[in-house]
C-alpha cells in the first residue's frame, strides 16, 4: 500500500470502517469518500464528499452505480433499505424485518453470522424465500427525529433454537442486484466466561439515515434547506432505532466489534452476546460472567447501563474496554410512538433545559469506572509507547520498556486525569504513555490503564480506537497486541 492509501485507511477507516465478509470489500469503500479528518483536524464523516475548491459546503455523495456485481443501495433512491423492529433476540424468538424496495420487486435476505470461520469472517446461516418488495412510505420527521416505525412488516424470521449466539448481519438483495445490510444480535442468558456487549446505542447516535441531503439527522449532523450538512448545534436531540442505518446499512464503528469477534472465536474464547440496550433494560445479568467485553467505540451510556456495570465490578466481574471515549455522554431511552420500549434515544448535549449530560459534569466522571477517560481526537496515527513492560500483560509479547507499536494510537485517545477521582482499587498500573499532537498542534498523550478493584475484578482500558483492529483487521494486525489481549482474557477466564 502506498503511503497515501495507508494514511487514508488509518485516519478514517481505522476509526470507523468494517471489514465486509459478504463479498464486496470493506463497506465504506462502497461509498464515495474515506476521509475522516480534514486538513484542519476537524471531524468529517466518511459519508460526506469534500467540498469543491473554494466552496464552504460539503455534499452528499451521488448514488453510485456499477456495471457488474452487487451494488450498494443508497438513501437517495432507497433501492433497498431495512431495519428490525426489535433489538437482540433469543433462539426461538421472532425477528421482524421492515424493508422498502424501489422500484418494487422481489428481494431475498441472506443471514450471516460473524466469526472467524477459517478466515472468511462470516458464514451464511440461511436464506429467506423470495419476498415481495414494496415502496414503503417516506420516513416521518418531527423536530429532527426521523422514524420509520410506520413501515409495514416485510418478513418475520423465526430464529431456530439451535442457532449459535452471536453477531449477525442480514444482507438484503434485490432482483436487480442492489444490496443493503441489517445487523442484529442473537443472545441468551446462559453462563459463559465473557459477555460481549455490542454498542448499539452508540451506533444509533451516529446514524444519519436518511443520508439524502434533506431529512436525515443524527446526534451529530442534520441538513439545512440548501442541502448543507450542519453540525452538532443543529443536530437531533432524539434519534429512533426504527429506521435503517445510513448508506450500506452497517453502523459506523461496527468493525471494531467484528475485529474482536473474529479473533476471540478463532482462539476459542467462551463468549455470550448482548446489546447495550439489553444491559440498559436489565435483560442480562452480568454477574453470571467472568468478564464483560466492550469491543468498540461505546460513547453513549444510560444510567441503567452504568449502574449495572458498576454492580458487576463490585461482584467481581472484570471489565475490558477495548476502545476509547467510553461512557462520555449520558443518555435516556424511551418508547416508540407505538409503545415499543427503548426505541428512542435522547441526548440533549448542551441544548435546552435539563441537567448536564457529560458524565464528568455531574461528578461521575468516566474515569471513576474506566480508570482513564477521553482526552481528544488523534488527527494522525501515532505509536503506542509501552510502559511497565515487566507487567504480566506484556508477557511473551516481546515488548520492551519504551517500545513504540506503530499506528496504535489513532482515532481518539484516553488518558489519566490527575485531578479526577480514581475508582477504588487495590492495584493500578499505566501500561502505555504515548505522546501525540492534536489538530491544533498541541502536545497531548494517550494512556492504557489496568486496575484491580477491591472485589478482585480487573478493569482494563486500551485508551485508543486502534486496539481491536490490531487483533484481526488486515494490514493492522499486531502480534504484540494479540498476545497482550490474550494475557488479559486468559487471566480473567482463569485459563492456565
Angle of the 254-266 helix axis to the 479-492 helix axis, nearest 10:
70
Residue 127 maps to a domain? no
Query: What local confidence, expressed as pLDDT, does residue 352 receive?
Result: 62
Domain range for 433: 254-492
Mean pLDDT of 428-447: 95
| Residues 6 or more apart whose Cβ sits within 8 Å of residue 480 | 394, 397, 398, 399, 405
Structure confidence by residue, pLDDT tens digits, 66-111: 344 568 888 889 999 999 988 899 999 999 999 999 999 999 999 9
Confidence of residue 20 (pLDDT cuts 50, 70, 90): very low
Could you give the maximum distance between any two Cα atoms of the chain, in Å? 63
Query: What local confidence, expressed as pLDDT, does residue 39 receive?
Result: 34
Q: How many residues does the chain have?
A: 496
Confidence of residue 496 (pLDDT cuts 50, 70, 90): low
* Residues above pLDDT 70, as percent of the chain: 84
Residue 136 maps to a domain? no
We report the CATH number of the domain holding residue 308 as: 3.40.50
Structure confidence by residue, pLDDT tens digits, 220-240: 888 888 888 888 888 999 999
| H/E run at residue 280 | helix 276-281
> Which is more confident, 451 or 208?
451
Query: What local confidence, expressed as pLDDT, does residue 16 receive?
Result: 40
Mean pLDDT of 152-161: 96
Query: What local confidence, expressed as pLDDT, does residue 227 receive?
Result: 81
Residue 433 maps to a domain? yes
Structure confidence by residue, pLDDT tens digits, 265-289: 999 999 999 999 999 999 989 889 9
Q: What is the mean pLDDT of the chain?
A: 85
Q: How far apart are the first and last CA of the chain?
A: 39
Structure confidence by residue, pLDDT tens digits, 286-331: 889 999 999 989 999 999 999 999 999 999 999 999 999 999 999 9
Confidence of residue 13 (pLDDT cuts 50, 70, 90): very low
Residue 379 maps to a domain? yes
Residue 475 maps to a domain? yes
Residue 485 has pLDDT above 90, yes or no: yes
What total number of domains does the chain contain? 1
Residue closest to 230 by CA, chosen among 240, 239, 220, 241:
220
Residue 416 maps to a domain? yes
Residue 270 maps to a domain? yes
Residue 197 maps to a domain? no
CA distances (Å), 44 to each of 16, 41, 106, 218, 381, in order? 12, 9, 36, 14, 16
Amino acid at each position: 500500500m502506498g503511503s497515501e492509501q495507508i494514511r487514508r485507511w488509518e485516519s478514517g477507516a481505522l476509526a470507523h470502517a468494517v471489514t465486509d465478509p459478504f463479498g464486496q470489500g470493506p463497506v465504506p469503500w462502497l461509498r464515495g469518500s474515506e476521509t475522516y479528518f480534514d486538513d484542519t483536524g476537524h471531524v468529517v464523516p466518511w459519508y460526506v464528499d469534500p467540498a469543491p475548491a473554494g466552496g464552504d459546503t460539503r455534499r452528499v455523495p451521488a448514488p453510485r452505480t456499477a456495471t457488474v456485481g452487487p451494488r450498494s443501495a443508497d438513501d437517495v433512491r432507497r433501492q433497498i433499505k431495512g431495519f428490525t423492529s426489535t433489538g437482540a433476540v433469543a433462539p426461538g424468538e421472532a425477528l421482524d424485518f421492515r424493508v422498502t424496495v424501489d422500484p418494487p420487486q422481489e428481494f431475498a435476505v441472506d443471514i450471516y453470522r460473524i466469526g472467524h470461520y477459517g478466515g472468511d469472517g462470516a458464514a451464511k446461516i440461511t436464506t429467506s424465500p423470495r419476498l415481495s418488495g414494496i415502496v414503503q412510505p417516506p420516513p416521518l420527521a418531527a423536530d429532527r427525529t426521523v422514524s420509520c416505525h410506520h413501515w409495514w412488516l416485510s418478513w418475520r424470521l423465526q430464529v431456530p433454537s439451535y442457532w449459535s449466539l452471536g453477531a449477525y448481519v442480514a444482507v438484503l438483495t434485490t432482483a436487480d442486484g442492489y444490496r443493503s445490510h441489517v445487523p442484529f444480535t442473537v443472545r441468551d442468558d446462559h453462563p459463559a466466561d465473557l459477555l460481549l456487549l455490542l454498542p448499539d446505542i452508540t451506533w444509533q447516535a451516529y446514524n444519519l439515515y436518511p443520508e439524502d441531503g434533506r431529512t436525515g439527522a443524527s446526534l451529530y449532523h442534520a441538513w439545512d434547506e440548501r442541502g448543507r450538512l450542519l453540525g452538532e448545534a443543529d443536530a437531533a436531540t432524539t434519534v429512533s432505532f426504527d429506521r435503517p442505518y445510513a448508506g450500506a446499512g452497517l453502523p459506523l464503528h461496527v468493525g471494531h466489534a467484528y475485529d474482536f469477534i473474529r479473533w476471540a472465536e478463532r482462539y476459542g474464547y467462551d463468549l455470550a452476546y448482548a446489546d447495550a440496550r439489553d444491559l440498559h433494560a436489565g435483560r442480562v445479568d452480568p454477574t453470571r460472567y467472568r468478564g464483560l467485553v466492550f469491543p468498540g467505540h461505546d460513547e453513549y451510556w444510560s444510567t441503567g447501563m452504568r449502574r449495572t456495570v458498576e454492580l458487576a465490578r463490585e461482584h467481581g466481574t472484570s471489565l475490558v474496554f477495548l476502545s476509547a471515549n467510553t461512557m462520555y455522554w449520558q443518555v435516556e431511552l424511551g418508547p416508540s410512538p407505538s409503545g415499543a420500549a427503548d426505541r428512542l434515544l435522547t441526548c440533549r448535549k448542551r441544548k435546552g433545559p435539563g441537567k448536564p449530560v457529560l458524565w464528568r459534569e455531574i461528578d461521575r466522571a468516566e474515569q471513576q469506572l474506566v480508570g482513564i477517560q477521553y482526552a481528544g481526537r488523534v488527527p494522525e496515527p501515532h505509536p503506542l509507547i509501552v510502559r511497565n513492560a515487566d507487567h504480566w500483560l506484556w508477557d511473551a509479547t516481546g515488548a520492551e520498556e519504551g517500545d513504540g507499536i506503530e499506528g496504535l494510537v489513532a482515532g481518539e485517545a484516553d488518558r489519566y486525569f490527575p485531578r479526577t477521582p480514581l475508582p477504588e482499587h487495590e492495584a493500578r498500573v499505566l501500561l502505555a504513555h504515548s505522546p501525540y499532537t492534536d489538530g491544533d498542534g498541541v502536545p497531548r498523550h494517550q494512556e492504557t490503564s489496568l486496575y484491580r478493584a477491591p472485589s478482585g475484578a480487573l478493569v482494563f482500558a486500551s485508551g485508543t480506537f486502534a486496539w481491536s483492529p490490531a487483533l484481526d483487521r488486515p494490514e493492522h494486525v499486531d502480534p504484540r497486541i494479540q498476545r497482550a489481549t490474550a494475557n488479559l482474557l486468559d487471566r480473567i477466564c482463569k485459563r492456565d
